[in-house]
Structure 1
Amino acid sequence: MASIKKRPDGTWRARYRGPDRRERARHFARKVDAERWVASVEVAKSRGEWIDPSLSRERTGTWCRKWLAAQEQLKPTTRVRYEGIISKHIEPTWGAVPLAEVAPADVAAWVGQLTSSGLSAASVRYCHRVLSLALGYAQLDGRLSRNPAEGIPLPRVKSKQKRYLTHAEVALLAQECGDYGVLVNVLAYTGLRWGEAAALRVSDLDLMRRRITVRRAMAEVRGRAELGTPKDHERRDVPVPMFLVDDMAAHVSGLGPDDLVFSGRGGGILRNGNFRRDTFDAAAKRAGVVGVTPHALRHTAASLAIAAGATVVLVQRMLGHASPSVTLDVYSHLFADDLDTVADRLHEAKINSGADQMRTSGQVILLTKEQGGDRDAV
């Protein structure tokens, strides 16, 4: 049980025993403050929300580093980005602040400061996400009773206008890219991410079945090309249109199973920056599709697939999205024609239903023998 006792110097000492059976105490100038503190502790204990004060005194900057070190599932590129956000945006504000003193209002003010500094809405949201994940881990570890970064209003991200190429534009771009024309068609008709295409090996191709198996992806980490698992660590099979099969077969002719399907001019992994500088950007200009990037061909693949009648689930599986909702978040506007088709079919069903009802719901009149009731039905 908690107790409050006046000390010789006139202050009040409040004591309680925590769930861990250890006794803790604080001193107050007024008895009423000691009583309030003890009462709040007892309520927290009864609700299972009690937090060991020694744990919540850890500095937020130190905790963010501990949290990041425990995230073994992160891909190298994500880890590097998280490290940069902690160093540049979190530690300058929160580095010396104890976890227990991080308040929602202060987090909201920090988000506002990031926005005012000129940081894009997407970057502000990413910074907030890193802080929120670290504080959520502190809550899981029993250092906080709640995550003070949850529910904070965030700036809205304005989606950029995407450029979707037509079949004719893709064909012209592929032609202008010369030896890399097959790569352009693969990106535009299979939806592979750049890192997935760059890491593709001949053994990943099953052209008899018209399938590409995505097993790995290349990522550039601090200037080095590293091979790892695809995004979300999910292996998937991607369909290859028939017209691409012969071109791909000719492209890999003479290569071994472990050879890269697409490599740099001097061999080795094809880097996005080198490809754009040496081939793609100039080819895009000649083809009249300035502003398109190799990654943007993934959007073209989605639009062409949807125009060909692919469902949300099929597009999701082809692109390797985590769920259909992710696909809809990005490409929902491309399914507008499908909505019209559904409405038209419902209209036709309703009209046909009404016609059937008119034919079958009338009053039945029995014919007498003289009226032909005994004639065979026609």
Structure 2
Amino acid sequence: MASISRRPNGTWQARYRAAPGGPQRSRVFTRKVDAQRWLDEVRASIVTGQYVDPRAGRQTVREYAEQWRAAQVHRPTTAAHVETMLRRHVYPSLGDKQLSAVLPSDVQALVKRLSKTLAPGTVGVVHRILSAVFKAAVRDRRIIASPCTGTRLPKVHKQRIEPLPIEAVRALTETVPERYRALITLAAGTGLRQGEALGLTVDRIDFLRRQLTVDRQLVTMPDRPPYLAPPKTQASVRVVPLPQVVVDALAAHLARWPSDGFVFTTDLGNPIRRTAFSATVWRPAVRAAGLDDTVTFHGLRHFYASLLIRHGESIKTVQARLGHASASETLDTYSHLWPDSDDRTRAAVDAVLAPAAEEHLRNGDARRT
């Protein structure tokens, strides 16, 4: 199974077979003790089941990543995102390298280079995808360890959500084409995500009970027509109460643009693509309303959340209305919008300590007189 022999030039060649009848592997060392140590490590890895064939890692990063990507159970939008991240940011520098040849320093250099042009959050996404590829390579016994372990990533500074003021929402409602005004009112009055709002169909609205059911979203992909799919997470499936202003806006919209399918469509009656909506409707409306270019459709969702919080709704209620997976997600995003407890803290301490302090002051004044 294993042997060490001295070569004519004085070096030592260590040989082994991982399995009877298997191919022979060898390595040359200057010292016999180093050859023996290497053979001992190989034997230990074979016995413990940790052995990795040195030739298994010769597949390139691109080849293995494409195999890995094809085997993943991803939503279509996620699959497209992963493909884009690998193609744009990983393959140009690491794609042609063999799996076993990629070093931690190569991954760190990639992160450093990407950090010059991409936001820290995007760099983190690229690294997570690459790390998943190499973890799979370790499980497949292509490599011994992942070169992504221990990478130092740029720090992500989470920006504080500043909800749109009511004046901005009113301005957007006025500046969008009339066909889409009810869409703005719907998003601001229910907190639906853009895909949920664009994918709303008439049969999901209960005008009598003043509520709508969110159990689908409209997905738009470059290479296929828009289609309905399950929402972002299971927690996103929910029933949302409709304020009267939203009920009235939807009723007026359907009276003018009748439909038994999608509530909101293009002038031709087709489902609305996000990119086209942003370019031809949203961005012009934002500019016409005099708002900053950074204002997105998602800002209407933040506006809705801020209204709930301002009117005393609990964390659990806000979580349920927005379809968040957990209350911690809601708090991480909107905790700064809840009224702080400074005044309540002061009042609690004053209620306990103030009477005693006042009594002490009166006794002191009496003694002085």
TM-score tier, shorter chain, comes to 0.7 to 0.9
CA contact (8 A) 1:201 1:261 kept: yes
CA contact (8 A) 1:10 1:29 kept: no
In the TM superposition, what is the alpha-carbon distance from 1:147 to its structure 2 partner?
Answer: 2.6
Q: Describe the SS at the equivalent of 2:330.
A: helix
Quote the Cα distance in structure 2 between the aligned partners of 1:14 and 1:251: 80
Instruction: Give the TM-score taking structure 1 as reference length.
Output: 0.79
After TM superposition, list the pairs within 5 Å mapping 1:175-324 onto structure 2.
175-177=174-176, 178-222=178-222, 224-227=224-227, 228-232=229-233, 234-253=236-255, 255=258, 257=260, 259-291=261-293, 292-324=295-327
Q: After superposition, what is the alpha-carbon deviation per residue over 1:7-44, rounded to whole angstroms, capped at 9, x for unaligned?
A: 56755342445489956421314323322211322343
In the TM superposition, what is the alpha-carbon distance from 1:99 to its structure 2 partner?
Answer: 2.0
Amino acid at match of 1:326: E
CA contact (8 A) 2:12 2:35 kept: yes
Quote the Cα distance in structure 1 between the aligned partners of 2:45 and 2:312: 57
After TM superposition, list the pairs within 5 Å mapping 1:1-378 onto structure 2.
2-6=2-6, 11-16=11-16, 18=18, 22=22, 24-30=24-30, 31-45=32-46, 48-72=49-73, 74-116=74-116, 118-160=117-159, 162-177=161-176, 178-222=178-222, 224-227=224-227, 228-232=229-233, 234-253=236-255, 255=258, 257=260, 259-291=261-293, 292-335=295-338, 337=339, 339-340=340-341, 344-345=343-344
Q: Describe the SS at the equivalent of 2:200.
A: coil
CA contact (8 A) 1:202 1:255 kept: no
Q: Describe the SS at the equivalent of 2:245.
A: helix
Q: After superposition, what is the alpha-carbon deviation per residue over 1:153-179, rounded to whole angstroms, capped at 9, x for unaligned?
A: 111234456552233432343233333
In the TM superposition, what is the alpha-carbon distance from 1:48 to its structure 2 partner?
Answer: 4.5
Q: How many residues align?
A: 350
Distance 1:33 1:192, change over 3 A: same
The share of aligned pairs that are identical, in percent, is: 37
Q: Describe the SS at the equivalent of 1:252.
A: helix
Unpaired segments ≥5 residues, structure 2: 355-369
Quote the Cα distance in structure 2 between the aligned partners of 1:351 and 1:153: 48
Quote the Cα distance in structure 2 between the aligned partners of 1:157 and 1:65: 29
Distance 1:88 1:172, change over 3 A: closer
In the TM superposition, what is the alpha-carbon distance from 1:211 to its structure 2 partner?
Answer: 2.7
Amino acid at match of 1:14: A
Quote the Cα distance in structure 1 between the aligned partners of 2:81 and 2:237: 24
Quote the Cα distance in structure 2 between the aligned partners of 1:203 and 1:249: 13
Instruction: Give the TM-score taking structure 2 as reference length.
Output: 0.81
Quote the Cα distance in structure 2 between the aligned partners of 1:240 and 1:19: 68
Unpaired segments ≥5 residues, structure 1: 356-378
In the TM superposition, what is the alpha-carbon distance from 1:6 to its structure 2 partner?
Answer: 3.3
What is the root-mean-square deviation in Å for CA atoms of aligned residues?
Answer: 3.3
Distance 1:148 1:27, change over 3 A: closer
Q: Describe the SS at the equivalent of 2:5.
A: strand
